[in-house]
Amino acid sequence: MSVVPALPAGPVTGVLPAPAEEVVDLEEVDVVEGELVDDDALQPVTAAPAKPLVDQHTILYPGQALPTAEDGPRYTRRDFEVSAETARRIEEESAPENTDRNYRSQRRVFAEWCEGMGRVARPCTTATYVEYCAHLIAREMAPNTISTYLSAVRTWMPDDKKPGTTVARAMWREYKKDWSRRNRVKKAPPITAEMARAMVDTCDLRHPIGLRDRFVLLVGRKALNRRIELADLVVEDLIVEDGGVAEWVATSKTDQEAKGEETWVPAEPGDPRYDPVQATRDWINCLHRLGVRSGAVLRALTVAGTLQSRVTATKRGDHVTGDAVNDWIRGRAYAAELPNWQDITAHGMRRGGAQEIAEAGGDPTKQGRWKAGSATVKREYLDRAQSRAENPWHIVAEQQRAGTQP
C-alpha cells in the first residue's frame, strides 16, 4: 500500500514553481489529505505539454522546436530589484526638475479625479483616459496644458498597460482648433538690441548684482540662451577670448542626451559697456573676488553683493532656478521703464536675438540650438522676416523717395 496526496479535480497542467531562491524539502512536507490505494492502482501522472511561446514575429529555423515556457530564463528577485542609489536617481533625475515636479502634481490631480469618479487611476482604462480628456476640455484649459496633463497620466502607467490615445487625441485636436480661434497665445515680447542696452544702463557695474545681470543680458541674448541653460552654466563652460566668448551648453531642450554643443558669442565693437566679452570678464573676476572659481556661473546674491547661503537648496545646490533668471530680467525691464515691462521675460532675449539674426538675412537655428529644419524657427523668425522684408509698402516708399509717385 502507498499513500499519495489527493489530486485536485481536472487535468494536471504542470507544477507550480517554489518561491524564488527557496528550496522545498519534500520529506518535510505534511500530507494534508490523502487516501490509501493499492500499488497496482497507481497511475502515472504526466504533466501537460508546456504551452508554446510564439507570436506573429517568431522565426524558426528548419528542424528547430517550438520554444516553450520551459526554455525561458528563471528569474529571481535580484533580476527585478535596483540598488538604493539607482532608486534615488530614478526618483530625482529621471526627468528635469520642473518637469518632474509638474508631473507629480498632474498625476495627483488625475488620481483625485478618478477617486471622485469611482474609477481606477493606475493602471487606468482607455475609457477613463478619454473621459479625463473630456473633463479637461470642459474646464477650457489651454490645449498645450491639456496635452501635458495627458502625457503625465500616460507615462505614469506601466509600459504594457498604457491607455489608447487615438480617441483622446482626436478630441484634443478638434478642441485645439476651436480654442485657437477664440484665443491668441500671448508671447513674451522680444528684447531688441535697444531694449537690452537700456536694461544694461540700469546695472551698477560697481556692484556684483549689476555685473551679474549685465552678463546675463549681453551673453544670454547673443547666445540665444534658454533661461535654464543660463542657470545651468558652470565656470568651466566659458572660455573668454579677445574675439568672443565660447559657451559650452552641456544640455538643452533639444539635447536631452547631454551631448553638449559650443555656442560662439562674438565681441561687440564700440562701447565696452555693451560688449559681451567685457561683461563676461568682469563677472568672472567678480566671482573670483567672491571666492568662486568653479561651479555655477550665476549665483544668488544678497543686497550687499555677497553670496547667499544655499544650505537649504537641496535640488539645485549653488545653481539658481530659471525662475530666478526671469525675475532678474523683468526687474531690469522695470528699472529701465520699458513699456509693458511686466510682460518681459528671459525668453524675450532669445526671441529678440533670433529675430535680429533673421531680419539680417541669417538663420538662427544653430545659434539657438533648435533642431535642424525647426518649424518654430521657420514660422516665427525666417518666414516673419521674409514677409516683412517683402511687404509691398516698401515698394511704394521707394517710389515716393525716387519721385515717381505722388
Cis, bond preceding 8 (omega within 30 deg of 0): no
- For residue 162, the model assigns a pLDDT of 95
Cβ proximity of 47 and 15 under 8 Å: yes
DSSP H helices in 36-96: 84-93
**pTM for the predicted model, two decimal places:** 0.60
The three grid cell numbers given for residue 86, joined into one nine-digit string: 539607482
User: What is the Cα–Cα distance from 274 to 258, expressed in whole angstroms?
Assistant: 31
Q: Where are the domains of the chain?
A: 93-182, 193-307+317-370
Per-residue pLDDT tens digits for 49-87: 666 778 888 888 998 888 887 777 788 888 889 898 888
Residue with cell 573676488: 289
Contact between 161 and 120 under an 8 Å Cβ cutoff? The reply is no
Domain topology for 93-182: DNA polymerase; domain 1 (1.10.150)
Q: Are 127 and 164 in contact (CB under 8 A)?
A: no
Domains 93-182 and 193-307+317-370 in one fold: no
pLDDT in tens, the chain (406 residues): 434 344 344 443 333 344 444 443 434 434 444 444 444 554 555 556 666 778 888 888 998 888 887 777 788 888 889 898 888 877 766 555 556 778 889 999 999 999 999 999 999 999 999 999 999 999 999 999 999 999 999 999 998 999 999 999 999 999 999 988 887 667 789 999 999 999 999 999 999 999 999 999 999 999 999 999 999 999 999 999 989 999 999 888 877 778 889 999 999 999 999 999 999 999 999 999 999 999 999 999 999 999 999 888 878 999 999 999 999 999 999 999 999 899 999 999 999 999 999 999 999 999 999 988 898 899 889 888 989 888 888 888 888 888 765 5
Burial class, 86, CB count within 10 angstroms (exposed 0-12 / middle 13-18 / buried 19+): exposed
213, three cell numbers: 545681470
Topology adopted by domain 193-307+317-370: hpI Integrase; Chain A (1.10.443)
pLDDT tens figures, 227-270: 999 999 999 999 999 899 999 998 888 777 788 899 999 999 99
3-state secondary structure (DSSP) of residue 240: strand
